[in-house]
Amino acid sequence: MALDLIERPRRNRKSPWIRDMSRETWLGAAHFIYPLFVHEGAGSVPIPSMPGCQRHDFDSLLREVEAARGDGVGAVVLFPKVPDALKSNDGREAYNPNGLVPRVIAAIKAHWPDMTVVTDVALDPYSTEGHDGIVSADGRVLNDETVEVLVQQALCQAAAGADIISPSDMMDGRVGAIRAGLDAAGHTDVSVLAYTAKYASAWYGPFRDALDSAPKFGDKKTYQMDPANRREALREVRLDEAEGADMIMVKPAGPYLDIIREVRDATDLPVAAYQVSGEYAALKAASMNGWLNEREVVLESLLGIRRAGADVILTYYARQAARWLAGGE
Ligand code: PBG
């Protein structure tokens, strides 16, 4: 006896063809930015808490960029591990024009001019204190003094050929200062992808292992956001928009899908989300144990981030996911 139902949602799920035509969200390699770690010297080093990821040496990094392109990934973001001897409280190595990052940018652009190179702006890899800004004698992370250095760092990266400058430091006013600095130097075409809602998250643990960049004292709670806060993310969006950001980022991604949605609804700018090192480590560990089906669970996680409202996803799974989406292994 048929139920008397006017609506039967299952009709729109009855065949692959109909499911395809009624699908609301799609995932493709064009959405991905691939984060890469690089260090000085010869030989690449595996990162224990991120199986499958390496701290690349210069040549290996270029090979990885080439392989990523082969997989259909057209954008990378660079994170350097800097030798202790080059670290200082004021992070001045961050704007050395002969430093590792500018050399890597120039090499990538020389080989593949159409590769989109995104660079991180923050002092933590360069800081003796492991903080994203300059630390005062009494242990405070100084805002305005730091912003001056961040502008120098951004100018150095732009001069080397970076396409998108991505401040991850969470200092107040840095987006506007970087935009003004870039424009004054003639870099009007260089974009700013702001880490707008970056939370003080335990999910960054493996990244700090990879770069040996954990704070030497305290935590990052005086500049990164409180995980309890939602409205504050919208305040940060308003400020970064007014300061000239081209794209807005939410970080982490998976545990903050509600924030991605709020931000998506609050701005006309493209929204990026960062599936961070700890999210990668968790997915990888469960998969390596055979507890989760890696392919299915990773693609579902990335699709969820897209469905929440992200246009762009920074993910360590970029290459792998691109291959899976193309029907490969
Ligand atoms: C530092 C920075 C961090 C990440 C990106 N840029 C770590 C932090 O804020 O301590 C984290 C990325 C990840 O965990 O994958 N400015």
With the most atoms of ligand 1 within 8 angstroms of its CB, the residue from 207, 216, 276, 277 to mutate is 207
Q: What is the mean pLDDT of residues 241-255?
A: 98
Distances in Å between the Cα of 101 and the Cα atoms of 156, 184, 190, 219, 289 are 9, 22, 16, 26, 36
Q: What percent of the chain has pLDDT over 70?
A: 100
Radius of gyration of the chain (CA): 20
**Is residue 211 over pLDDT 90?**
no
Query: Looking at the domain assignment, is residue 18 inside a domain?
Result: no
Strand partners, 88: 127
Does the Cβ of 276 fall within 6 Å of ligand 1?
Answer: yes
Does 329 have pLDDT greater than 90? no
269: domain CATH number is: 3.20.20.70
A 10 A CB-CB count for 285 gives 14
Looking at the predicted structure, is the pLDDT value of residue 213 above 90?
Answer: no
What is the atom index within ligand 1 of the atom nearest the CA of 206? Answer: 14
pLDDT digits (tens, 9 = 90+) for 142-171: 999 999 999 999 999 999 999 999 999 999
In a domain, 293, yes or no: yes
Q: Which residues pair with residue 199 across a beta bridge? A: 225
Terminal alpha carbon distance of the chain: 46
CA-CA distance, 295 to 304, in Å (whole number)? 14
pLDDT digits (tens, 9 = 90+) for 286-317: 999 999 999 999 999 999 999 999 999 999 99
Please report the atom of ligand 1 found closest to the CA of residue 314.
15
pLDDT tens digit sequence for 90-134? 999 999 999 999 999 999 999 999 999 999 999 999 999 999 999
Task: Evaluate whether residue 21 is within a structural domain.
Answer: no
d(CA 192, CA 199): 19
Q: Is 122 in the pocket of ligand 1 (CB under 6 A)?
A: yes
Helices (H) and strands (E) in the chain, counts: 11, 12
* Residue from 169, 276, 279, 314 whose mutation best tests the ligand 1 pocket (most atoms within 8 A of CB): 276
pLDDT above 90 (res 210): no
Percentage of the residues of the chain whose pLDDT score is greater than 90:
96
Q: Which of 317, 282, 289 is nearest to 302 (CA)?
A: 317
Please report whether residue 313 resides in a domain: yes
Known catalytic residues are 198, 251
Query: Which domain range does residue 133 map to?
Result: 28-325
Q: How far is the CA of 23 from the centre of ligand 1 (A)?
A: 33
Residue 9 covered by a domain: no
Q: What is the mean pLDDT of residues 208-237?
A: 94
pTM over 0.85: yes
- Pocket flag, ligand 1, residue 118 (CB < 6 Å): no
Number of domains in the chain: 1
Please choose from 33, 124, 165 the residue to mutate so as to test ligand 1's pocket, defined by most ligand atoms within 8 A of CB. 124
Q: Is residue 81 part of a domain?
A: yes
- 204 CA to middle of ligand 1, Å? 6
Does residue 277 have its Cβ closer than 6 Å to ligand 1? yes
List, in sequence order, the alpha helices (H) in the chain: 16-21, 58-70, 100-111, 143-160, 174-184, 205-211, 231-242, 257-266, 277-288, 294-308, 318-325
List, in order, residues 6 or more apart from 318 with CB less than 8 Å away: 29, 32, 33, 34, 68, 71, 73
CA distance 307 to 304: 5
Domain membership of residue 20 (yes or no) is no
Q: Whose CA is nearest to atom 7 of ligand 1?
A: 204
Decide if 246 contacts 269 (C-beta within 8 A).
yes
Evaluated on CA atoms 259, 260, 261, 263, the torsion sign reads positive
Burial of 303 (0-12, 13-18, 19+ CB in 10 A): middle
Query: Would residue 5 count as lying in a domain?
Result: no
